[in-house]
């Protein structure tokens, strides 16, 4: 097809803008292709795995993840301990907007923690500690899996913009293989001092995640950002020959050999994505790209 000049009027719908992106070139074109691939996943009734990183759960994207879980547009979430922590805290109290170039020493003096241009006052972590207590108590006598722990968190909030809430309600599992790398992890340090029988057995989730994945006819991944969430989503698909569809939204580059920057083709060499799979990679900050994609698939 031809490259097409954009035709944008003041009232244009976001989804119409996305449609026009097809002929725009560069990453705009990849936005449309991502939309189409997600639609195909839906039409083919693929088992859809959504992954994202902690910072995204601290941003306005959180409610989009929640909506996808509410509407059962995804069948599994794989994310970090930090993402779980941010969603849970924000289901009680909001975070604040700041700036990327605020003075971090002054912020530290004021007890304010910065995530890019998002601010988290220390009180949020005091709150987290209180809210986590009854959850820990429930498991004090045994080893729990991360997904079981996270499911319980979803019972302790009723915020409709929380993906934890909807995941528990709709019985959609959330996996977090590195869960202790988070404020939740720090709390386990304190809790375990008086509750030695408590533990988090990460191997328990290997069974749960693999049994689920292996039972799926087709699997698709919507993979926002990199790190352990990205790798786990593609890695657990190896046993079934790989994801059948994959959309990556990323800001990382392949040149350093890192998993975060690794291409969908690299994943195909491993069988983390199937040989035949259609894939799309959008190079963009997810806070810009994903709302656009979402507006077209909702």
Chain positions 162 to 221 lying near its own copies, rule: CB under 8 A, are 177-182, 185-186, 188-189, 192-193, 198-207, 210
Which segment (41-49, 89-97, 150-158, 165-173) binds its own copies by CB under 8 A?
A: 89-97
Min CB(79)–its own copies separation in Å:
12
- Between 105 and 124, how does the x/- string for binding to its own copies read (CB under 8 A)? x-xxx--xxxxxxx------
Q: Is 272 tagged catalytic? A: yes
Cα–Cα distance measured from residue 282 to residue 297, given in angstroms and rounded to the nearest whole number? 16
Write the CB contacts of 2 (distance below 8 Å, at least 6 apart in sequence).
23
Cα–Cα distance measured from residue 196 to residue 275, given in angstroms and rounded to the nearest whole number? 47
Write the CB contacts of 82 (distance below 8 Å, at least 6 apart in sequence).
53, 54, 55, 57, 181, 182, 183
Six token digits for residue 171: 């019985």
Min CB(220)–its own copies separation in Å:
19
Is 100 a residue that touches its own copies (CB under 8 A)?
A: yes
Min CB(215)–its own copies separation in Å:
14
Residue 176 phi/psi, 5-degree rounding, is -150, 80
Is 31 a residue that touches its own copies (CB under 8 A)?
A: yes
Largest CA distance in the chain: 67
Residue 2 or 141 having the CB closest to its own copies: 2
Min CB(87)–its own copies separation in Å:
10
Size of residue set near its own copies by CB under 8 A: 128
Residue 217 or 256 having the CB closest to its own copies: 256
Strand ranges inside 24-75, DSSP E: 47-52
CA-wise closest residue to 179 among 188, 192, 171, 190: 188
Query: Of 34, 37, 48, 64, which lies in the binding site for its own copies, with binding defined by CB under 8 A?
Result: 64
Pair 77, 179: CB distance under 8 Å: no
Q: Which of 161, 230, 268, 272 is catalytic?
A: 272
Is 237 a residue that touches its own copies (CB under 8 A)?
A: no
Min CB(288)–its own copies separation in Å:
5
Q: What is the residue whose two structure tokens read 């959330």?
A: 174
Q: Could you give the 3-state DSSP secondary structure of residue 6?
A: coil
Can you spell out the DSSP letters for 86-103? Answer: HHHHHTTS--EE--TTS-
Window 121-150: residues binding its own copies (CB under 8 A): 143
For residue 85, list its beta bridge partners.
none
Cα atoms found within 13 Å of the Cα of residue 172, Cβ hemisphere only: 25
Residues known to be catalytic:
272
């Amino acid at each position: 097809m031809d490259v097409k000049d954009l035709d944008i009027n003041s009232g244009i719908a976001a989804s119409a803008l996305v449609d026009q992106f097809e002929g725009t070139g560069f990453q705009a074109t990849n936005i449309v292709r991502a939309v189409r691939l997600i639609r195909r996943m839906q039409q083919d009734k693929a088992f859809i795995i959504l992954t994202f990183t902690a910072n995204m759960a601290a941003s306005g994207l959180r409610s989009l993840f929640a909506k996808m879980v509410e509407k059962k547009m995804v069948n599994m979430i794989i994310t970090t301990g930090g993402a779980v922590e941010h969603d849970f805290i924000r289901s009680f109290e909001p975070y604040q907007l700041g700036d990327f170039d605020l003075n971090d020493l002054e912020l530290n003096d004021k007890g304010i923690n910065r995530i890019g241009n998002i601010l988290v006052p220390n009180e949020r972590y005091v709150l987290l500690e209180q809210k986590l207590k009854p959850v820990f108590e429930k498991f004090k006598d045994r080893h729990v899996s991360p997904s079981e722990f996270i499911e319980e968190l979803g019972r302790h909030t009723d915020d409709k913009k929380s993906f934890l809430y909807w995941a528990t309600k709709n019985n959609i599992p959330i996996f977090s293989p590195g869960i202790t790398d988070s404020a939740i992890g720090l709390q386990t340090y304190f809790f375990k001092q008086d509750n030695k029988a408590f533990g988090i057995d990460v191997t328990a989730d290997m069974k749960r995640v693999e049994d689920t994945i292996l039972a799926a006819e087709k699997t698709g991944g919507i993979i926002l950002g990199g790190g352990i969430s990205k790798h786990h989503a593609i890695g657990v698909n190896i046993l079934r020959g790989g994801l059948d569809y994959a959309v990556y939204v990323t800001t990382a580059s392949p040149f350093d050999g890192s998993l975060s920057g690794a291409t969908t083709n690299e994943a195909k060499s491993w069988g983390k994505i199937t040989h035949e799979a259609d894939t799309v990679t959008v190079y963009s900050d997810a806070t810009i790209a994903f709302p656009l994609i979402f507006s077209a698939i909702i």
